[in-house]
Amino acid sequence: MDFSFDEAQQLFRDSVDRFVAEHYDFETRQRIVATDDGYLPEHWQRFAELGWLALPFPEGYGGLDGTPVDTMIIMESFGRGLVASPYLSSVVVAGHILNRAATEQQKQALLPALSDGSLRLTFAFAEPTSRFDLADVSTTATEDGAGYRLNGYKCVVHYANTAHKVLVSARTTGNQRDPMGVSLFLVDMGASGVSARHYPTIDGQRAADIKLDNVRVDADDLIGDKDHASAFIEETCDHGIAATCAEAVGAMSVLYEMTLEYIKTREQFGKTLGSFQALQHRMVDVFMACELCRSMVYAATCRLTESTAERQCTASAAKVQVGKAGRLVGHEAIQLHGGMGMTDELPIGHYLKRLTMINTMFGDIAYHTARFRRTANYFSL
Amino acid sequence: MDIAFSKDVQAFRQEVRAFIRTHLPDDIKHRVERGEELDREGHMGWHRKLCQKGWTVPNWPTEYGGPGWSLAQQYVFHDELAFNCAPRLPWYGWDMIGPLLIEYGSDWQRQRFLPPIASGEEWWCQGFSEPNSGSDLASLQCKAVLDGEHYVVNGSKIWITAAHVSDWMFALVRTDSSGKKQQGITLLFIDMRSPGLSRRPIITFDGGHEIDQCYFQDVRVPIENRVGEEGKGWSYAKYLLSVERIGTADVARSGTMLRRLKTIVASERAQGKPLLEDPWFADQIALLEIELKALEVTELRYLFETEAGSDLGPEASILKIRGTEIQQRITELIVDALGYYACPDLRPALWQDANIPAVGPDYAMLASASYFNLRKLSIFSGSNEIQKNIVAKAVLGL
Ligand SMILES: Cc1cc2nc3c(=O)[nH]c(=O)nc-3n(C[C@H](O)[C@H](O)[C@H](O)COP(=O)(O)OP(=O)(O)OC[C@H]3O[C@@H](n4cnc5c(N)ncnc54)[C@H](O)[C@@H]3O)c2cc1C
């Protein structure tokens, strides 16, 4: 039983925190999300120099052999700074798929470029009728000579605007909701038949709906075994869950700190707000919610490499916990700031926006409560 | 970071589990599972077996008869007791008097009082609360005046758990009222058979008798039964609150209750299907289990975050608040799950004959009584409101 960070992890955390403190104050952040790209390409270059883009990948492909705990550290700091970037979609999510499912040759071709920042990817899995079910895939891939033709529609694909290529889940056999028969393809964003409608998301980040109209891909654009991608997709999204939950913990910590500071200084009725017990107890509820989430994020992160059932059950538990806490913490932060909490000028509301987005990503409270039910038996450590 | 117990600790868990499964009498297990109060004899049947094994005072060092376990071993031991429906260790002796005397007691006190705690021969109760001093404990008025080699105690203590089955009370009494209210409080060990000490049972609204009010009329307490210095009782009481106490969150007991709830919803039927398939129940249970999981990891984090475990300070308050909320919620859901069979009141019958069969399923027998009884959890050991005050002050700095 060990909840500590080793020295390398602490140094790493300091370096991410320093970046956020020096380059990502709230005003800068607001300017960045208002740009066309919704992130700063110079920052991406900086991430590459600092080795963050290479973090989860094996050394043989230019990576740093990092662990999920390292990803957790970077995501928590990003959450604190409300950092908007394709890190999650490109490195954590798409990167995980390649790392786990791609052939040696594909890895050699893609991972070094992903690590040095010259290649950005994203993962298109959601569809308008799939909701959060990852196996509900109506996009099709039909064999066409040595390659495939893709047809379908993917929605709310994170930072597709900056991606060179997109990983697409498509059905090669079976019925719309069969876990069996789903395959993964790497599609060039510029390929003929790919059309994208880009838009900002509620949290200032970027996404796109992508239409695939008879898009031709080669046989070696297939990632992983044909028909057998569902398990990888599920696993990948659990990595996404652990990462977004860590990000949420960072965001919630900031809301907690700001609100606490505010009620300690703001005075009404001749006293600080913090001297009113009704507000003290609400602040304690906020603190408890943050603490419980932090624990669950540690558990979910450490369990990513355990058995499938353990991984799923803990990831779902974390996602539910973070979903509920995100609302509580966000709402209380706004309420206790009074009118100030409603302003666009203060970061408070922007943190709630990110937390709201995170609650939806990779499945919401209802979805993960149900998945938890399916996977959880009585647990113990 | 690694959130699993080491191989050694896991092997130890198996050893504890095997011991409990071999030696815990079925009827005791059944009664604990139902949520029944055990009488002292019921407890002792099991306690003697634990004692032979040397496992009744898990947190004590070996020189005082403890097993010398690591924090992780202690955690796992309590976990297994709860998981296998073994009774809790008798209140207050192992977890409070032991650490108290080891830290502040005299040699004579250690020799006199520690061994009978380990053997289970002497039971203890906690005499802190008074009719006019509950949450504001430091305002207590029960008075002790030194008269030669004795303190003479006058006043009353209320809500005393298990006073009627205890041999000794550790009591906070006022020896000086001239200074601040926290000063002038002294900690005494009072023999429950002392002349002048009388008791009145308090029946709780679930029908049970687990607490009493005690009255002291010129009760003489030898001076050697005073712990530490006169007037320092408040700091000893605070020490007792701060000693690291595994199980504040009671995660494993909640886990066992939750398994019981799951058994119930699997057996109960609604609309021709197991209640388990009712989406409302299924979700309520899943949400609760998730809360419990988060609490479990949080407790472990607080216990093991720093090397060798740190003393739980205000963190213990968080564990207490959330732990009690979860336990109370489980009992509510059990009552909900039982439908009509939550209604028969079988306690009077049970008092006459412990083997009385249930009306309806056995698991329904004490469900409502447990639900009513566990409302106490958010009131005692520092009410949940007081715990929030503590966190607000000590952690949030408000
Ligand atoms: C079943 C049971 C067993 C017990 N066992 C023991 C025992 O063995 N030994 C022992 O010494 N005591 C025992 N107690 C007593 C227990 O510790 C007290 O009941 C508790 O401290 C609350 O005190 P009170 O009952 O006087 O309530 P009060 O202090 O009058 O509180 C009433 C309500 O007001 C709230 N409140 C009080 N002050 C504040 C504040 N400052 N801010 C916000 N809310 C506040 C409380 O949270 C509570 O909800 C037991 C109690 C019960 C119910």
A285 and A355 together in one domain: yes
Task: Please give the residue range of the domain that contains residue A29.
Answer: 7-120
pLDDT digits (tens, 9 = 90+) for B206-249: 888 999 999 999 999 999 999 999 999 999 999 987 776 777 89
Share of chain B above pLDDT 90, in %: 79
- Rounded (10°) angle between helices A7-23 and A68-81: 20
A115 and A167 together in one domain: no
Residue A2 lies in a domain: no
Indicate the range of A306-310, B37-41, B385-389 predicted with least confidence: B37-41
Mean of the pLDDT values across residues A303-311?
93
Indicate the range of A97-101, A347-351, B147-151, B361-365 predicted with least confidence: B361-365
Indicate the range of B66-70, B246-250, B275-279, B327-331 predicted with least confidence: B246-250
Partners of A314 on chain B (C-beta within 8 Å) are: 293
Partners of B320 on chain A (C-beta within 8 Å) are: none
A331 and A194 together in one domain: no
Residue B356 has pLDDT above 90, yes or no: no
Residue B354 has pLDDT above 90, yes or no: no
**Cross-strand partners of A124:** A168
Mean of the pLDDT values across residues B96-118?
97
Residue A92 lies in a domain: yes
Chain mean pLDDT for chain B: 92
Residue A248 lies in a domain: yes
A56 and A106 together in one domain: yes
A247 and A338 together in one domain: yes
User: The CATH number of the domain where A238 resides is what?
Assistant: 1.20.140.10
CB atoms within 10 A of CB B4: 13
CB atoms within 10 A of CB B127: 30
Residue A333 has pLDDT above 70, yes or no: yes
* ipTM (interface pTM): 0.84
pLDDT digits (tens, 9 = 90+) for B118-153: 999 999 999 999 999 999 999 999 999 999 999 999
Distance of CA A228 to CAs A225, A231, B179, Å? 6, 7, 77
Ligand 1 is surrounded, with C-beta below 6 A, by A 277; B 125-129, 134-135, 159-161, 211, 376, 379-380, 383, 385-386, 389
Where a domain ends, among A100, A120, A140? A120
8 A C-beta contact, residue B202 and residue B263: no
* pLDDT of the residue at A380: 42
Mean of the pLDDT values across residues A294-322?
96
Mean of the pLDDT values across residues A2-18?
93
Mean of the pLDDT values across residues A208-230?
97
Ligand 1 centre and the CA of B30: distance in Å? 31
Among B370, B351, B260, which Cα is nearest to B39's?
Answer: B351
Share of chain A above pLDDT 70, in %: 99
A206 and A324 together in one domain: no
User: The CATH number of the domain where A94 resides is what?
Assistant: 1.10.540.10
A184 and A105 together in one domain: no
Give the contacts of B368 (CB within 8 A, at least 6 positions apart): B206, B335, B342, B343, B345
| Strand A182-188 versus strand A165-171 pairing type | antiparallel
* pLDDT of the residue at A381: 40
pLDDT digits (tens, 9 = 90+) for A135-187: 999 999 999 999 999 999 999 999 999 999 999 999 999 999 999 999 999 99
Instruction: State how many domains chain A has.
Output: 3
Residue ranges of domains in chain B, CATH in brackets: 7-89 (no CATH), 124-235 (2.40.110.10), 247-395 (1.20.140.10)
| Cα–Cα distance for residue pair A223/A227, rounded to 1 Å | 11
Residue A1 lies in a domain: no
* pLDDT of the residue at B311: 63
A90 and A72 together in one domain: yes
| Cα–Cα distance for residue pair A117/A52, rounded to 1 Å | 10
Residue B347 has pLDDT above 90, yes or no: no
Where a domain ends, among A195, A227, A259? A227
Residue of chain A nearest B301, judged by CA positions: A3
User: The CATH number of the domain where A198 resides is what?
Assistant: 2.40.110.10
**Phi, psi values for residue A154, rounded to 5°:** -115, 145
A189 and A258 together in one domain: no
Residue A95 lies in a domain: yes
A152 and A217 together in one domain: yes
A45 and A17 together in one domain: yes
A203 and A236 together in one domain: no
Question: Chain-centre distance of CA A241, in angstroms?
Answer: 6
Residue A212 lies in a domain: yes
pLDDT digits (tens, 9 = 90+) for B257-308: 999 999 999 999 988 999 999 999 999 999 999 999 999 999 999 988 865 5
Ligand 1 centre and the CA of B114: distance in Å? 29
* pLDDT of the residue at A377: 61
Confidence bin at B346 (pLDDT 50/70/90): confident
For A186, the enclosing helix (H) or strand (E) is strand A182-188
Residue A30 lies in a domain: yes
Residue B32 has pLDDT above 80, yes or no: yes
Mean of the pLDDT values across residues B180-189?
96
Ligand 1 centre and the CA of B156: distance in Å? 16
Nearest CA to ligand 1 atom 53: B376
| Cα–Cα distance for residue pair A182/A234, rounded to 1 Å | 12
> What tokens does B227 get?
């712990």
Q: Within B35-164, where are the H helices? A: 40-53, 71-83, 98-104, 107-119
A5, A284, A373: residue with CB nearest B282: A373
Question: Is A71 at the interface with chain B, CB within 8 A?
Answer: no
* pLDDT of the residue at A378: 40
Using CB atoms within 10 Å of the CB of residue B356, give its burial: 0 to 12 exposed, 13 to 18 middle, 19+ buried.
middle
Length of chain B: 398
Where a domain ends, among A75, A96, A120? A120
Give the contacts of A310 (CB within 8 A, at least 6 positions apart): A303
Coil, helix or strand for A229? coil
Mean of the pLDDT values across residues B33-53?
91
* pLDDT of the residue at B309: 52
Residue of chain A nearest B386, judged by CA positions: A281
Distance of CA A133 to CAs A125, A136, A237, A307, Å? 9, 5, 11, 21
Residue B355 has pLDDT above 80, yes or no: no
